[in-house]
Each structure stands twice: as C-alpha cells, then as structure tokens.
Amino acid sequence: MANAQCACGALRLTMREPAKLVAACHCLACQRRTGTAFSVNAFYASEAVEIAGATTEFTRISDSGRNVHMHFCPACGSTVYWKADAAPAIIGVAVGAIADPAFPAPTLSVFEKSKHHWVSFGEEVECFQTSLI
C-alpha cells in the first residue's frame, strides 16, 4: 500500500494496489503543470485509490482531443492526481506526491519530441515520441 499527498497534507491518497504502470512524460502541458522539465506518473485502477480532502479541478484538452482532469490542492497548489476521459478506469498519481525514493522507476517515457536535451533515462526505458493513447 502506498500513500500520496500534496505539499501541505490536506489532500491525501491511499493506493491499495501496486501501480500498473509508471511513466515519464515530457509534454509541454506537464512541464507547465509541474514547473519542471518532465513529470513522472504512476497509474492505478481507480477503484484501488481512496481520496481524502478537497481538490480544485483543472480540465485541459489532450493532444487526442479528449479531456484530462487535473486535481490539485486548493490550499497549496500541488497537483496530486488526474483522470483522463480516454481511460476512465485509471487514475494517474504524481510520483513526487508519493515521496518515496525507492518507488519503481518509469518503464515508459512519452512525448520525447519535447524532451529537454539533457534528460536521459537509460536503455531499459521504452521511449515514444508522443502519447500511447
């Protein structure tokens, strides 16, 4: 079981199952959302995740034209999780919000077309120029 929380602790998630997938994303929307060069995201079955605390939702349209709903803490602004209309049974969790340096490494790297030139993960990470879905 893993936990995730925002910077102030008001928004907390409990994940009752291991992540199905861990992926890094270099898209420009993730760069702006996180304020850093790329995001690292863990994907769980929605029914395996308990959410406690209020969120503010920011909805944006993905490259595939479907809505993605980002949920962030209204007090401290940390984005902790998100849901995509294209994959309603899955919830994405910010790996940084789990705050566990032993957390599994990403096995996929997506949107490499906008990857910062100095970022490199090694050969065990599968790379895609855009999204998987």
Contact criterion met (CB below 8 Å) for 98 and 122: no
Q: Which parts of 53-92 interact with Zn ion (CB under 5 A)?
A: 73, 75-76
Residue 93 in contact with Zn ion, rule: CB under 5 A? no
Contact flag: residue 28 with Zn ion (CB under 5 A): no
**Quick one: which of 10, 21, 48, 125 contacts Zn ion (CB under 5 A)?**
10
b (16+ CB within 10 A) / e for 68-102? bebbbbeeeebbbbbbbeeeeebbbbbbbbbeeee
Tell me how far, at minimum, the Cβ of 101 lies from Zn ion, in Å: 21
Should residue 25 be labelled a site residue for Zn ion when binding is judged by CB under 5 A? Answer: yes
CA distance 55 to 13: 12
CA separation for the pair 90, 3 (Å, rounded): 17
- Stretch of 28-36, 54-62, 90-98, 100-108 lying at the interface with Zn ion (CB under 5 A): 28-36
Cβ neighbours of residue 120 closer than 8 Å, sequence gap 6 or more: none
30 forms part of the interface with Zn ion (CB under 5 A): yes
Measured from the CB atom, the residue of 29 and 102 that comes closer to Zn ion is 29
Give how many residues touch Zn ion by CB under 5 A: 9
Backbone angles phi, psi at 3, to 5 degrees: -125, 150
Binding site for Zn ion (CB under 5 A): 6, 8, 10, 25, 27, 30, 73, 75-76
